[in-house]
Amino acid sequence: MSEEHNFEAFMAAYQDMVFSTAMRLLGNSAEAEDISQEVFLKAYDRFAELSQSKTAGGWLKTVARNLCLNHLSRYRARWTFFSDLKREDDESDREFDIPAEDTQSEEAELADKRQLLELTLQKLPPAQRVPLVLYHFEDLSYEEIAARLKLSLAKVKTDIHRGREALRKKLKIDLEGELSGAVGMLPPPAGRHTKS
Amino acid sequence: MNESQEPLLAARIDRELRALPVLPAPKTLAPRVLAALAARQQAPWWRQSWAGWPPGIRMAFLAVSLGVAGLLVIVGLQLPTLGLATGALQTVAGWFAWIQAYVDPVWRIMEALWIGLKAAPPLLLWSVTAFIGLAYAMCVGLGTLGYRVAVNRI
């Protein structure tokens, strides 16, 4: 099999993961596709190593994340500034184009719920979406996010909290039941080392 | 939501987000990458990255670069002993003499302003500073208002 064919197979194996990473960080399909293309062009330059490596997926994810953050940093001064001026209830007031919730089957309901969550995540303002995605998908701690985004720890925590609140409201998550059943102690979210 | 619910919410959102399936990449992604790779490979060697240059040309480029750098170092070291430094500096200064025509008036204006500032009463200086600060704050306020109007958030 030629190198081109090998690379095509490599791309087929990883393109969804790379695109998902970019899409969730950027919240824009066209930009996510551009970044994904850039990731695979870089991967091609190192394909001899990557094709033999078991950590190729991790390398691709890291490159995708860094390229997205670099891309966002060009606009960050703007979105950080305006995110500070926005009202806290902005997100909950916004009308999203969401699917109707009248499906009967459980599978369809789950798919709808996931679609709603994905859409809500994409519609979050970048100031909230980016740290939220870095925390929950990329397993970065608050401190790492603050350092990577060059923001204060307090701002990162506030933005993540607001993002979670927006998701909770949109998904109509009721924590009262969980609170009574949890008896205070919850395991920390998996796959992360330091959390505040 | 109260503070005690924050860890619960974090865990719940974490669970929900991690359960999300990967998003399918657009069908256009792979063809785009392959087209970009083909275009890159068809580009002449001198438009590719240094790593893509033919080995012979890379070696030659390295040798020439080292030679030029060495030559510059040698000339730099020899310049004072050759007595050319003063003349060379004068020649270079001559190239930029036209800048002097612009620098002089600006310098005089700055001097006049400085004298005026030193002579001005402190109250006037504070008033001017406060006015400038106020004008800046108004600019930020108007900019924010403009942004909110532009994105229909007011």
Q: Pull the structure tokens for residue A43.
A: 């991967």
Residue in chain B closest to A121 (alpha carbons) equals B17
Q: Which residues of B touch A187 (CB under 8 A)?
A: 11
Best B13, B34, B41, B48 residue to mutate vs chain A (most A CBs within 10 Å): B13
pTM value is 0.62
Helix (H) or strand (E) holding A54: none
**pLDDT tens-digit series, residues A145-190:** 999 998 999 999 999 999 999 998 888 776 666 555 544 444 455 4
Helix (H, G, I), strand (E, B) or coil at B95: helix
Axis-axis angle for helices B29-42, A29-45 (nearest 10):
50
- CB spacing of A179 vs B4 below 8 angstroms: yes
Domains along the sequence of chain A with CATH: 1-77 (1.10.1740.10), 102-173 (1.10.10.10)
With an 8 Å Cβ cutoff, are B33 and A164 in contact?
no
What was the ipTM of the complex prediction?
0.72
Cα–Cα–Cα angle for B117, B120, B124, nearest 5°?
Answer: 105
- Tell me the chain A residues in contact with residue B14 when contact means C-beta distances shorter than 8 Å: 136, 189-190
> What's the distance, CA A80 to chain centroid?
17
Query: Do B10 and A189 count as a contact with CB atoms less than 8 A apart?
Result: yes
pLDDT in tens, chain B (154 residues): 566 678 888 898 999 899 999 999 999 999 999 999 998 888 888 888 787 788 899 999 999 999 999 999 988 777 767 666 677 777 877 888 888 888 889 999 999 999 988 898 989 889 999 999 999 999 998 988 888 777 665 4
CB-nearest to A175 from B12, B16, B22 is: B12
Nearest to A167 by CA among A123, A102, A107, A130: A123
CA-nearest residue to A35 within chain B is B29
Tokens coding A52: 């033999």
pLDDT digits over A41-84, tens only? Answer: 999 988 988 988 889 999 999 999 999 999 988 765 555 545 55
Structural tokens at position B60: 């030659």
Chain A's closest residue to B30, CA to CA, is A11
